[in-house]
Amino acid sequence: MSNPILISLKIYLEQYCCDFFSKKQIDTIFLGGGFTRDESINFEYKRDLISQYYKSVDWESPVIIPKLNQVIETILYSIHLPDDAKNNFRKTLSDIGFKFDVNRVIYQPIIPNNSLFISQFPVGLPFGKPKPEFAVQIDRGSQKLKFEWKNGIGIIDFNVYPDLTYQKLAQNFNLHLGTTDTSLRRALRDMNQTEYETNFFLHYAKTFNMANKNIPILIPQAWIQWHSQSKKYLNPTSSLNINDIYRVDFVAFWKNKKFAIFIDDISHYATRKHNQEIWLASEEEYSQNIQQARKLMKEGWFVIRFSNWEIKQKELLDKAMIDLQQIIVFS
């Protein structure tokens, strides 16, 4: 599925159904929309059940639109759903372009780019080493969540599509190139967590003249799936999964696509015992990383991985820059 709007809607519907409906109710919702599944299988988890329904349709075909409309209408007519949950559901879809006549979907739009980022990151995308925090703010008589500003944290809460460049980031922070953007350049450098990430970032910035050219900016330490609970309190059946990736080393947004870029150290494929210097290859560690990559790809991210080993050697680092340029496709 190449349409980023449908990818976003697909993810949102999955999470919403997992949060508010039982497996039996999910069956009713998707069967009523014309989705199918192998009824001989008893799925233990809701996400696996929904995934089976998703696999039954062609997401590249126009026929997916009326099916999704029917799913949305079934959700809104559900007697099991509280009114506030319906209102939030309707508001989220309205924000990305849907229109309703009571609970009937009357319009399926081609969602504009300025709504896509909102649907993917409803309260913005924080970046930086410190863990972000939420603040509750009053907005026209109701409460809404915002990321709270703190030292070492930046927040992207504007439209990044189709392309996010350094110039666009500076402009949205009300900074002017060459005069008031020095603090932004320094902050982006200092947000990198390791010396290898810093070297990768600076080499990219210098190689492609990131501050002045029309190329994608690398956003360091992006909290793409942040939530308030610690991982030890999560479980695989909740909408907030213990295996969710909180933060990635870099993200980039280019030509309506989103890229997650990782700089892997030895701990991504090896382990060592306490107080020992020797690293041993670990299938478990390696498996966790490739599972995370697959999860991100299912959520519409293009995943790119580099290693510390490449960054240590200039010849390999130069080649990594060329590879990154060719994968993201910029000149």
pLDDT digit of tens for each residue in the chain (331 aa)?
556 667 778 888 998 999 999 999 999 999 988 899 998 999 989 999 999 999 998 887 777 888 888 899 899 888 888 888 888 888 888 776 677 776 676 655 544 455 678 777 877 899 999 888 777 666 666 566 677 777 889 999 888 988 999 999 999 999 988 888 999 999 999 999 999 999 999 999 999 999 999 999 999 999 987 654 444 444 444 444 445 557 899 999 999 899 999 998 877 677 777 667 777 777 877 777 888 888 888 888 999 999 999 999 999 999 999 999 999 999 8
Same domain for 246 and 187: yes
Same domain for 24 and 160: no
pTM of the model: 0.63
Same domain for 297 and 159: yes
Give the SS3 label for residue 260.
Answer: strand
Same domain for 278 and 165: yes
Give the SS3 label for residue 135.
Answer: strand
Same domain for 219 and 81: no
| Lookup result for tokens 């972000």 | 132
Angle between helices 64-77 and 83-95 (to 10 degrees): 150
145 lies in some domain: no
148 lies in some domain: no
Between the alpha carbon of residue 44 and those of residues 22, 23, 74, the distances in Å are 11, 9, 23
Which amino acid belongs to residue 158? F
Same domain for 180 and 66: no
Tally the domains of the chain: 2
What's the domain range around 10?
4-118
Cis peptide before 162 (omega within 30 of 0): yes
139 lies in some domain: no
Same domain for 285 and 185: yes
Nearest to 217 by CA among 180, 264, 244, 185: 185
Same domain for 294 and 159: yes
